[in-house]
């Protein structure tokens, strides 16, 4: 199988092995495209392209956050570095910036899914770094605030909201948007829907039959009386409670 790699160093792989595409200008013009002569003309053959695979996985229509998260992880797995590495020029630079925004949006989408699944504890460190890198990005800020809240650091979450609002007012002259304000209100109201999702209950299925019951101890005289009762000929009965004997 042949695949064109654009999400990283530009190249072509055939059955997992890289193919030499020549100089950067050649890579820019024909990355892995084959022209074949057919009856009545020519046909342009293009193998799979990692960018197309990334976009298809990212926008696939699926039900449920578990499946959505799996597809986003697979989509982001096609990225192997900065897009169009090895190709120069204004067009390549503009495309790199546009593709970098697509990559970041996919990262945000995956983070939203994981937060809905209650995985804020696994995201706090990553989101702290992302919030520092994008200090005015309200989507990133909201994700970081929610992750803090999910691990019980609600005071830190509210403090981050306060600092962000001050910075937005000071630098942009605006208040936080409706989404962040709504998240702040729900945190103050202790909305249970924001909490980490509890783990699914584990149903233990017995792997073997229960062990045999232990020996019955005590009641020696009563057991002896029962044993004797079993040896009484038909027509006779014993009253175990009083020990009396009667002949029918």
pLDDT (tens, 9 = 90+) of the chain, 248 residues, equals: 778 888 998 888 877 787 776 666 555 554 745 556 667 665 545 668 899 999 999 999 998 999 999 999 999 999 999 999 988 899 899 999 999 999 999 999 999 999 999 999 999 999 999 999 999 999 999 999 999 999 999 999 999 999 999 999 999 999 999 999 999 999 999 999 998 765 554 444 555 555 555 555 666 677 677 777 766 665 555 444 444 444 44
- Give the DSSP H/E element, type plus range, for residue 14: strand 11-14
From the options 2.60.120.890, 1.10.10.10, 1.25.40.10, 3.10.180.10, give the CATH code of 119-196: 1.25.40.10
Annotate 61-126 with DSSP letters as a single string: --SSHHHHHHHHHHHHTT--SSTTBT--SHHHHHHHHHHHHHHHHHHHHHHHHHHHTT-GGGTHHH
Q: Which residues of 58-72 are buried (b: 16+ CB within 10 A; e: fewer)?
A: beeeeeeeeebbebb
- Give the DSSP H/E element, type plus range, for residue 246: strand 245-247
| Spans of all domains in the chain | 1-117, 119-196
- Tell me the pTM: 0.70
């Amino acid at each position: 199988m042949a695949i064109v790699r654009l999400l990283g160093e530009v190249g072509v792989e055939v059955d997992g092995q890289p193919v030499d595409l020549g100089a950067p200008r050649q890579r820019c013009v024909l990355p892995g495209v084959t022209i074949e002569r057919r009856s009545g003309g020519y046909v342009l053959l293009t193998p799979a392209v990692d960018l197309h695979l990334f976009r298809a996985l990212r926008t696939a229509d699926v039900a449920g956050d578990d499946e959505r998260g799996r597809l986003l992880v697979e989509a982001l797995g096609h990225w192997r570095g900065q897009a169009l590495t090895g190709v120069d020029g204004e067009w390549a630079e503009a495309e790199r910036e546009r593709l970098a925004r697509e990559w970041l949006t996919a990262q945000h989408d995956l983070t939203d899914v994981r937060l809905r699944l209650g995985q804020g504890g696994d995201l706090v460190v990553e989101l702290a770094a992302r919030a520092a890198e994008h200090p005015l990005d309200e989507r990133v800020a909201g994700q970081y605030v929610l992750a803090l809240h999910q691990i019980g650091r609600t005071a830190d979450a509210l403090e981050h909201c306060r600092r962000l609002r001050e910075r937005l007012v000071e630098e942009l002259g605006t208040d936080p948007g409706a989404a962040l304000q709504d998240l702040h209100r729900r945190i103050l109201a202790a909305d249970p829907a924001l909490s980490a999702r509890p783990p699914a209950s584990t149903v233990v299925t017995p792997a073997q039959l229960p062990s045999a019951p232990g020996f019955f101890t005590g009641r020696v005289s009563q057991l002896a009386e029962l044993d004797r009762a079993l040896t009484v000929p038909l027509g006779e009965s014993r009253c175990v409670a009083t020990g009396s004997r009667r002949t029918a």
